[in-house]
Amino acid sequence: MIDAVTAQAAPGGAMDFFNSLLIPTILIIGIMYFLMIRPQQKRMREHRDMIGAIRRGDNVVTAGGILGKVSKADEEELTLEVAEGVRIRVLRSTISEVRGKPEPASGGSKSGSKTPAKSEDKTS
Q: Is the pLDDT of residue 111 over 50?
A: no
Choice between 2 and 20, residue whose per-residue pLDDT is larger = 20
* Mean of pLDDT values over 18-43: 91
Domain boundaries, the chain: 1-52, 54-102
Phi/psi for 66 (5° steps) reads -85, 130
Percent of the chain with pLDDT over 90: 60
| Chain mean pLDDT for the chain | 80
Whole-structure pTM value = 0.57
Q: How far apart are the first and last CA of the chain?
A: 102
Angle made by CA atoms 79, 59, 82, in degrees to the nearest 5 = 50
| CATH code assigned to 54-102 | 2.30.30.60
Exposed/middle/buried for residue 13 (C-beta within 10 Å: 0-12, 13-18, 19+): exposed
